Structure 1
């Protein structure tokens, strides 16, 4: 197949979590022999911030981890859709795109044979409903939603006639257990502060437990306001600023445990959507403890694949258990790794995407491919 993907950025994961999944999916598709062309806006905010703060050498570093990835830059005013979409079989349009681009590609679809899907990987369908409703999906073949609740919302609101649940997953070519020669500390957390969507939760489930237990901990992320950096210091937590996502597996290997603190919209309005961080942590074989979220779609087995802390006191208890009970920590590590390799890798998601392509009527001879996916690390 020839696939054309319009996303915010393939090259930059600075405050742009969707790049994680996108890189894994593109790599997997290419490994199966598909022709994949990614288009991202020239001077997009994520890539501009990355280069402005850390320099273009970070793009060279990315190529060491993803040697087959390349992107195309476009400017909306001069974008020639006839040229860009020539010969396409499937076009994916991510929800973080300009409304005008979404409309124009939809109109182009009416005069062409490719299949066109809208891909939603954010909570804005709930928290910014007016903006999402303004997307013109009239001529789209359907929506890929990263959770069942989002899928049902699109159908209920009449924004689309057809939708599929397409969860994010771990790119197991990059996210896998690394050798642990020694540890730099007890706990690591990788994530952005969250635009005040989880400030109280971060204090309850991360900062306070670390401080009260006297753990050696480090936090990575961007857009931390001054009060957040001060709070980290008061809790005795080192702040590591931005961490390229492809470096996360190496960092996980140097710590004994990590935590997941979901943003409030995912807890209150979007049950069943864990976001990509837990997938990646479990793929790296680090024990995971999560603040409350409802696994409404049975992606995992809470208590077996990871622990759930209902409050800050329970988080302290779970941390103590993982840090002192080696067998319990090993069980969590093995169970989490096993469920990722059995159900939640980017290879699994590409299998699902290929099945959707068949449902949409794309010729089987174009869909069929030979997978060169990495061998699972645990069974």
Structure 2
């Protein structure tokens, strides 16, 4: 008995200015494999439809692109209201406040409304800073909050805001999508970093990547992602702009090492591995990451990942790294994530929450869940 799920998010078909795309795809594809039917509603906004990296809609989800207008949003909510579960993700990008409330109003009497926060640290900080934030009174009205990560700090914070249930559903790897491929000469470098320019990441990119590049000036570095075109950079950094998801494997497999840099808020809360961590590990890349609490739950420092607390330590790792050690670290990371951290693991967790846990029993949702055949 599969569930029907209406999912309101930023975009499933385009990763352009949309770092959550890989996460959405991994979880939704695996939910479909388990027999659940997902309709993904996304706005026609930020030129994402012009930069689709999925040229055709997937066969494991129905995609509905709606106009980024009040009328378009209203039609999308009405179209999805008969699902067993209505999911509102954070960061849709247009009419978020309206959608947060509309999904609650539209859910079936015997259905569930889930808020899926793909940037919980930012949401929580925003609510703490603004007592009048419109999402604050809505938190207790959702049947559950799922988060992209954050561990106990995020769970405890959401509980303080009245969440009935808060469960981290961590990033993972999709082995069908992220795996080892032959190197691509256009990505040749000693160190690669892939990430869009965002306000709470920029200072950390300056420290962990640009400073490290300047210190290890004898090494070549490559930077991919949107928004960095006017950023001053050391001469050994090659900026290549937006990298489509089809090239992520080659980007991860070509440099000697790739770098993960957490956004400031996620590093502060901890327990928030970025999608890039699992993409790189799935491709057997040697990963250097900034330090954050909880890392060892996902990868073993020193053996499956290299950890740096500042740009100096990134440069030290880079200088000491040999191709043989890089290969050993990457292969160890790949073994770990394939055994413990795939989206199949995450989808099984979500299914359990929705079909056999407190939600399904009606202890939170207020009525016995009815799955649709």
Q: TM-score range by the shorter chain?
A: 0.7 to 0.9
Q: Which residue of 1 aligns with 2:316?
A: 317
Deviation at 1:193, TM superposition (A): 2.6
Determine helix, strand or coil for the equivalent of 1:79.
helix
CA distance in 1, matches of 2:179, 2:370: 32
Q: Which residue of 1 aligns with 2:204?
A: 201
Question: Would you say 1:115 and 2:112 are equivalent positions?
Answer: yes
CA distance in 2, matches of 1:310, 1:367: 49
- Number of paired residues? 347
Q: Which residue of 2 aligns with 1:11?
A: 13
Assess if the C-alpha contact under 8 Å between 2:192 and 2:223 holds in 1: yes
Change (3 A) 1:276 1:192: same
Q: Which residue of 2 aligns with 1:99?
A: 97
CA distance in 2, matches of 1:289, 1:10: 28
Assess if the C-alpha contact under 8 Å between 2:271 and 2:295 holds in 1: yes
Determine helix, strand or coil for the equivalent of 2:5.
strand
Q: Which residue of 2 aligns with 1:373?
A: none
CA distance in 1, matches of 2:339, 2:102: 39
Q: Over aligned residue pairs, what C-alpha RMSD do you find?
A: 2.7
Q: Which residue of 2 aligns with 1:352?
A: 349
Assess if the C-alpha contact under 8 Å between 2:115 and 2:142 holds in 1: yes
- Gaps of at least 5 residues in structure 2 are 362-367
Assess if the C-alpha contact under 8 Å between 2:136 and 2:161 holds in 1: no
Q: Which residue of 2 aligns with 1:265?
A: 265
Give the alignment's TM-score, normalised by structure 2.
Answer: 0.84
Give the alignment's TM-score, normalised by structure 1.
Answer: 0.83
Change (3 A) 1:6 1:310: same
Deviation at 1:120, TM superposition (A): 0.7
CA distance in 2, matches of 1:119, 1:319: 37
Change (3 A) 1:259 1:350: same
Determine helix, strand or coil for the equivalent of 1:143.
strand
**Which range is displaced more, 114-123 or 172-181?**
172-181
CA distance in 2, matches of 1:105, 1:65: 24
**Which range is displaced more, 291-300 or 250-259?**
291-300
Assess if the C-alpha contact under 8 Å between 1:144 and 1:151 holds in 2: no
Determine helix, strand or coil for the equivalent of 2:192.
strand
Counterpart selection for 1:167 from 165, 170, 176:
170
Assess if the C-alpha contact under 8 Å between 2:289 and 2:306 holds in 1: yes
Deviation at 1:82, TM superposition (A): 4.9
Q: Which residue of 2 aligns with 1:215?
A: 219
Deviation at 1:220, TM superposition (A): 0.5
Change (3 A) 1:124 1:199: closer
- Gaps of at least 5 residues in structure 1 are 369-379
Q: Which residue of 2 aligns with 1:288?
A: 287
